[in-house]
Amino acid sequence: MTASPVLSRDADGVRVLTIDRPERLNALDRQTLEALDVAFTAAEDDPQVRVVVLTGAGPKAFVAGADIAQMAALTPIQAHEFSALGQRLMRRIERLPKPVVAMVNGYALGGGLELALACHLRIAAEGTRLGQPEVGLGLMPGFGGTQRLLRLAGRGAALELCLLGAPIDAARALQLGLVQRVVAAADLETATMELAARLAAAAPLALRGILDAVLAGGECPLEEGLAFESARFGLLFASQDMREGTAAFLEKRTPRFGGH
């Protein structure tokens, strides 16, 4: 049986998923996309998992892009299906009801940047290079890059990255809002796991409500988004976590959230 290209390990409510193709700079082929879908489904279904951290193996790349050798042989119909497969995965990650943190180092190009953008938060190491270079291959982003860049960084930045195809550094990505933090490469894992631990200690139902409100609300008119937020806010008052959180605040102690 062929080993999965996605490794998984757990630590205190945090599941770390590692794309393990360092010899190909963790490029996304069909098998890897399918393995990621399986891994994220398992993380969603496991009640012990509160946060997912996604990264790539080796010091050179988070994900350097889609697997060009595999893509080059595709017919137009197969290419459309490959794009749809990638988009379904990115959508699954984006709509996961648990926070997903991308730990980004080295190259995050093409499908790699699209994968990072589907995560809820992104921490990048200094020296990281991010971009959508598909135009240099006579192609365009196909895993949602045009749409998420537009929504995260605005039309000008989306067009700059996609039309020119030139990568940007982590500092520029931070300026554009494509990553939330930039740290020294030696500190990347520590900083990411500290953030993940903080999220894992938070109230799971509240985190889910926030993710739903921001992501679903961002796709509808303001009045609908406000109504959705209000409804989710009210539902949280039926949770044990809300009782625990407010009691802990009044009693001046650290809350212990159980996700109920």
CB 43 within 8 A of CB 54: no
DSSP code for 105: -
Strand partners, 154: none
Q: Which of 126, 134, 219, 251 is catalytic?
A: 134
Q: Which of 114, 126, 189, 229 is catalytic?
A: 114
| 131 class by beta-carbon count within 10 Å (0-12 exposed, 13-18 middle, 19+ buried) | buried
CA distance 225 to 217: 4
| 238 class by beta-carbon count within 10 Å (0-12 exposed, 13-18 middle, 19+ buried) | exposed
Annotated catalytic, 134? yes
Write the CA distances from 17 to 39, 83, 172, 260, integer angstroms.
8, 22, 26, 26
* Residues belonging to the active site: 114, 134
